[in-house]
Structure 1
Amino acid sequence: MTDETSSPSSSYLRRLGIWSGAAIVIGGVIGSGIFRTPATVAERTASGLPLLALWVAGGLLTLAGVLCYGELGARRPHAGGIYLYLREAFGSLPAFLFGWTMALINYPGSVAAVAATFADYFCRATGLPPLWSSPVAVGAIFFIVSVNLFGIRAGAWLVNVFTLLKLVAIAMLLVVGLVLAHGHFGGVIAADPAHHASAGAWIGAILPVLFTYGGFHYLNDMAGEVRDPQRTLPRALTLGLLGVMVCYVLANIAYLVGMGHAGLAASKAPAADLMSHVFGPHGATIMAIGIACSTFGYCSIAIAGGARVLQTMGKDGMFFRSVGQIEPRWRAPQVALVVLGLWAIVLVITGTFDQLVNYTTVGEWLGHAFGIATLFWYRRQFGAQSSPYRVPLYPLLPLVFVCTVLGVIVATVIDMPRDAGMSVVIIVLGIPVYALWRRWQQRVSA
């Protein structure tokens, strides 16, 4: 195993321990969704109990995927995550299509979208006029990229601080909802007569739940910098996701106790509304600070993870070779970080990120499904090799995850046919781009 003292200057340093790894999982999953999404889920359920059941079910399904990612990361503890698994199992074209969709479109689009959300809440908390939102978002991306240029230790410090701050924000939400709002636990089980959940509504309710649980894969993107990865990766992934589940379920209980199911369903910003109910206008400001911290932390993780996918693509010749370089002193993918940051800044300035994120959501979930499916290939090819970690209940857990995710994709196509169709178009457009790129690479090397 490569360590800090023996690794060549062209490779990453393994500096992430289990707690930093768990912080990356928590920070990559918890963004702004838990502060807003529960209202959408409440709109599509009849009472608090099915709402909580959906959040538990979504967490268990995500946990199944996390356990599978634990084995994949233990088998291939290198930077690149899903891109790396697809390249080894299914070849360069599927890997390129994933990288084309995610590293070049979804990752920078997500960073731009969440940076804009951070800027909106930051301006709201500090009293800055909305005109400052775009410059603040650009400044946030610039700052995050600058910190990460100095290696994973500096980036992990940033992640740890803002993960702690977002957990403080959720803890504050729990105290307000469960204690200070003077609600009652009957709101958890009371049915809302105005809502009658059909089968279609249940499908519509599980979609935002699963999307709010998304982002658990970033640690695998940075697996090349995890200490003792065969043991640390599975533990950090599991610990982090369990922490997210606890936060999500308790946050929803707090909403139900403090606002009731009907109040939650009618809210456009439940976290801010709950805080305002107790503290007045100052409560909304406090929650704006919490959401700003949460979204800033997510941006840091998305930039760090996305840059390492880009770097791996560059090293493989699937993108410009300069992007594949690792700076020898700080062991950071500095060119990839700058490229990703600049592209995200362009998206912020032009305001084109919302549609990009919507258009690539199906591609992201397809990547998860096929990424987990590579586990069957690894078991068939290397099943006889000893491994310190194997996903429990194999092949049930990966089958359940893959089949459920494919079902979610079908539901998304039905629910949002335009966005899903554009996602397919973006993926398919990657095929001629791949062919042209390979032809150009052959000419350059000839």
Structure 2
Amino acid sequence: MEQAKQSFQKSMGLLDATMLVAGSMIGSGIFIVSADIARNTGSVGWMTLVWVICGFMTLTAALTYGELSAMFPKAGGQYVYLREAYNPLVSFVFGWTFFAVIQTATIAAVGVAFAKFTAYLFPVLDEDVYVVTLGNYNVSSAQLVSIGVIVLLTFINSSGINSGKRVQTTLTLIKIFSLLLLILFGFLAFKHEVWNLNWNTAAMWNLRRLHIDGTFENYTTFGAFGALSAALVGALFSSDSWHSSSAVADEIKNPQRNIGLSLALGTTIVTVVYILTNIMYTSVLDLHAMVSAPQDRIAMSAAQEIFGPFGITIIAIMIMISTFGCNNGIILAGARVYYSMALDGLFFKRVGTLNKNAVPAYALWIQCIVASIWCLSGKYGDLLDMITSVVVIFYVLAVAGVIRLRYTRPALERPYRAFGYPYLPIIYIIMGISFVLLMLIYKPNYTLPGILIALLGIPIFYIINNKRKKYA
């Protein structure tokens, strides 16, 4: 009974909410994915444009979500928005996919990224160092470290919202400041010959495939669209989890104002930092150096040019801080979605309760277990590629939900109205649908499995719903 009486504590201010958004977005992606983007685009102009397009899409969605967050300032964020705009089936399919893969596999991937870069300082923690071997199945020290980090962060967040927010705000401020310093030192190490070669007028907008050996391959007209979509996958993944503050609405002071504002501020900060970081890359590395960076770790190649051999250590520490803080934000926000599902009778009942510290501890720990299983499976990377299109589908549905609600529930109070409505939401919907269709055409092996995972939620919903009605 004591747990049932618990309620969320409104202890997060605008700074905390903004740092939750920015910190959940900045993980390891910005340090890595530009190498693949450069390979797909073959020019710095198009590479930069991919990040601009990604930033535009993310910021547009965030500004639109502001209207939803002001109307429905409740824990669960996107899950709640989809339920209110459509029906429980749509929101459950999102919640199911979010729990099964999107959030838990992301937590696993970010955790393993932390371990991989920790191995630069402590080689015994490398993913090639096996601790357990059972036939053809191996468990590396990196996997165990990632699980340890996930368990630690889950424990911190189960101790109360104040514990989680302190870690999030502190580490996010540190990593934004660190990235800005990296950008500054990168421009101070500016190489005129590299810059002139990269930004050559004749080549900077020549869209083509650049191979690691330095050779180029021209695209057909349709192939060029497929290449841009493939390039966008990495950028969109690096910018994901931008909606984190909406999931903790019940714990944010003045949520009707601060959620939307935190979404706008957080996504703007990260977009500017990401674009500046990529421009910095082009000032110290030529295109061939970008696409041939060992294991795609383009930031390490850039840091070596800026700081010399010590650059590897600097970037390793930056990524450790970045991924640790990123996982904290994802873990904190994700649990609130399962909590809201449980309140609707669509998840385990205990998940819909709060512990003595006024946080959904059961939701946090069940998320921890599934994420740890993904760590041990070693398949999280493939699943994240597969699920990218599905993530965008749910974003499109939520943005379209703003338009739908304007017509179906016009009397609802709207303390904030979506900026640029209806033009920006419509542009986002068109861009999102185009991205998904192009991925279906050019990357069906990745896109279709992700859609199938999401669709599996439909029969699960009806099974749960029928059981709920039977025992009601």
Partner of 1:82: 78
**CA distance 1:126–1:269, change in 2 (3 Å):** same
How far residue 135 of structure 1 moved from its aligned partner, in angstroms, is 1.8
- The letter of the residue matching 2:389 is V
Asked if residue 364 in structure 1 is aligned to residue 391 in structure 2, the reply is: yes
Q: Matches of residues 127-142 of structure 1 in structure 2 within 5 Å?
A: 127-130=123-126, 131=129, 132-142=141-151
SS in 2 for 1:310: helix
- The letter of the residue matching 1:373 is A
How far residue 423 of structure 1 moved from its aligned partner, in angstroms, is 1.4
Residue 176 of structure 1, aligned match among 164, 170, 185: 185
Asked if residue 249 in structure 1 is aligned to residue 259 in structure 2, the reply is: no
RMSD: 2.0
SS in 2 for 1:78: coil
- The letter of the residue matching 1:310 is Y
Query: 8 Å contact 1:272–1:283 — kept in the other structure?
Result: yes
Ranges of 4+ aligned residues in structure 1 off by more than 6 Å: none
- The letter of the residue matching 1:435 is Y
Query: 8 Å contact 1:65–1:401 — kept in the other structure?
Result: yes
Which whole-Å CA distance do the structure 2 matches of 1:384 and 1:336 have between them?
34
User: Which deviates further from its counterpart, 77-86 or 351-360?
Assistant: 351-360
- The letter of the residue matching 1:76 is F
Kindly provide the CA deviation profile for residues 340-385 of structure 1, in whole angstroms up to 9, marking residues without a partner as x.
0111112212323223323322221111111111112322244345
Residue 347 of structure 1, aligned match among 346, 361, 374: 374
Kindly provide the CA deviation profile for residues 99-126 of structure 1, in whole angstroms up to 9, marking residues without a partner as x.
1111232211110111011111112223
How far residue 183 of structure 1 moved from its aligned partner, in angstroms, is 4.6
**CA distance 1:210–1:187, change in 2 (3 Å):** farther
**CA distance 1:390–1:210, change in 2 (3 Å):** same
How far residue 404 of structure 1 moved from its aligned partner, in angstroms, is 0.9
Partner of 1:324: 352
Tell me the percent identity: 30
**CA distance 1:433–1:127, change in 2 (3 Å):** same
Partner of 1:224: 250
Query: 8 Å contact 1:181–1:277 — kept in the other structure?
Result: no
**CA distance 1:263–1:123, change in 2 (3 Å):** closer
Query: 8 Å contact 2:118–2:125 — kept in the other structure?
Result: no
How far residue 399 of structure 1 moved from its aligned partner, in angstroms, is 1.1
Kindly provide the CA deviation profile for residues 169-222 of structure 1, in whole angstroms up to 9, marking residues without a partner as x.
312321332113545643552236854664233333333323322221111111
Query: 8 Å contact 2:186–2:306 — kept in the other structure?
Result: no
Query: 8 Å contact 2:350–2:362 — kept in the other structure?
Result: yes
Asked if residue 421 in structure 1 is aligned to residue 448 in structure 2, the reply is: yes
Partner of 2:162: 153
Partner of 2:22: 26
Stretches of structure 2 that go unaligned for 5 or more consecutive residues are: 130-140, 207-214
How far residue 324 of structure 1 moved from its aligned partner, in angstroms, is 0.7
Query: 8 Å contact 1:188–1:253 — kept in the other structure?
Result: no
Partner of 1:301: 329
Residue 196 of structure 2, aligned match among 167, 186, 204: 186
Which whole-Å CA distance do the structure 2 matches of 1:308 and 1:189 have between them?
46
Query: 8 Å contact 2:248–2:336 — kept in the other structure?
Result: yes
User: Which deviates further from its counterpart, 209-218 or 29-38?
Assistant: 209-218
Which whole-Å CA distance do the structure 2 matches of 1:221 and 1:209 have between them?
22
Query: 8 Å contact 1:44–1:195 — kept in the other structure?
Result: no
How far residue 82 of structure 1 moved from its aligned partner, in angstroms, is 1.5
Residue 212 of structure 1, aligned match among 238, 242, 247: 238
Query: What TM-score do you get using the length of structure 2 for normalisation?
Result: 0.87
How far residue 228 of structure 1 moved from its aligned partner, in angstroms, is 0.6
Stretches of structure 1 that go unaligned for 5 or more consecutive residues are: 1-7
